Amino acid sequence: MNYQAFIDQQVAAIREAVGEGLAINALSGGVDSSVVTALGHRALGDRLRSVFVDSALMRQDEPQLVVDMFAKLDIPVEVIDARSEFLDALRGLIDPEEKRHAVTNTFYEKVFGRIVRQSGATHLLHGTILTDIEETVDGIKRQHNILAQLGIDPKDAYGYHVLEPLKTLRKDDVRQLARALGFNEELADRIPFPGPALATRIVGEVTAERLETVRRATAIVEEELAGCGAFQYLAVLLSDRATGIRDGRREFGQIIVVRCLHSTDARTATPVELPWATLHRICERVTALPGVNRCLYDLTPKPPATIEYI
């Protein structure tokens, strides 16, 4: 694939679609939305407004990290605090598809609907990639960023058009594109992070407290496995509990699952044979988190599992 030609084509297509209008896009800190931001910025300059929606579902320190990363590229990113809106929408939900739906709705209808009305933007730029579309169309899970393929016309439903410059690409191509756009290796190689964020890694109800547990576990797993060469690694909080002992007393505690997978395009994935010492260190640190007394390593490939738990 000729990445430079792809960049030129997409920049021209974004310019043509948006015309003299304004566009917005949301950054999650992952490579897909970062690449879309760079393409959009090339096409539209300051007629693209890039936002980081703090949904309460993001990773530790992520808002500042994303703002700083893009400041180096002279792309301003605005942080929008929508934490209570997302937590309210997720309250009491257990069913995985209902949780995904709540996140999607809050994102597109409430938060983006509002930004669009306030800014007069006509287009939303989106980091949808081919795998997201395929899994939704195949009925595996309702991917957060899929609208048209589910029969949702974003113009009718939310009042803006959606542009998806990466929808023919898979993750490995997106990484090459990131390099061609001048991103450093750290960003081009950043592990995937899903649109519905940590909500995909909590089985059962998503609450501020449970998010804090999975956020801290995620930070430990990402720190310990950084540079291990895997496609993706993550922590999941289960809804089951298990009996354990803390400070000599019985504790009915939380269970964290660690996942670390090889993959090229996320359609299939196999677990990484991590060194025992690494697993031990992760287990020790994760079970030091308040209320967590079990740490499990998930050996299931995709299929039959998926990468995330929701």
Residues near ligand XMP (CB under 6 A) are: 132, 135, 141, 143-145, 192, 194-196, 200, 232, 266, 302, 306-308
Closest approach, Cβ 157 to ligand XMP, in A, equals 18
Closest approach, Cβ 83 to ligand XMP, in A, equals 19
The closest alpha carbon to 17, from 146, 174, 125, belongs to 125
Burial of 171 (0-12, 13-18, 19+ CB in 10 A): buried
Residue number, 121 or 166, with CB nearest to ligand XMP: 166
Tell me the CB-side half-sphere exposure of residue 249, using CA atoms within 13 A.
5
In whole angstroms, what is the distance from residue 84 CA to residue 297 CA? 32
Closest approach, Cβ 162 to ligand XMP, in A, equals 14
Residue number, 263 or 293, with CB nearest to ligand XMP: 263
Closest approach, Cβ 259 to ligand XMP, in A, equals 10
DSSP-assigned letters across all residues of 200-250? GGBSS---HHHHHHHHHHHHHHHHHHTTS--SEEEEEEEEEEEEEEETTEE
The closest alpha carbon to 202, from 131, 100, 82, belongs to 100
Residue number, 25 or 293, with CB nearest to ligand XMP: 25
Q: Residues, the chain, total? A: 310
Closest approach, Cβ 90 to ligand XMP, in A, equals 15
Closest approach, Cβ 129 to ligand XMP, in A, equals 7
Residue number, 37 or 143, with CB nearest to ligand XMP: 143
Residue number, 206 or 253, with CB nearest to ligand XMP: 206
Sign of CA dihedral 251, 252, 254, 255: positive
In whole angstroms, what is the distance from residue 213 CA to residue 230 CA? 23
Residue number, 8 or 109, with CB nearest to ligand XMP: 109
- The answer to whether 125 and 14 are in contact (CB under 8 A) is yes
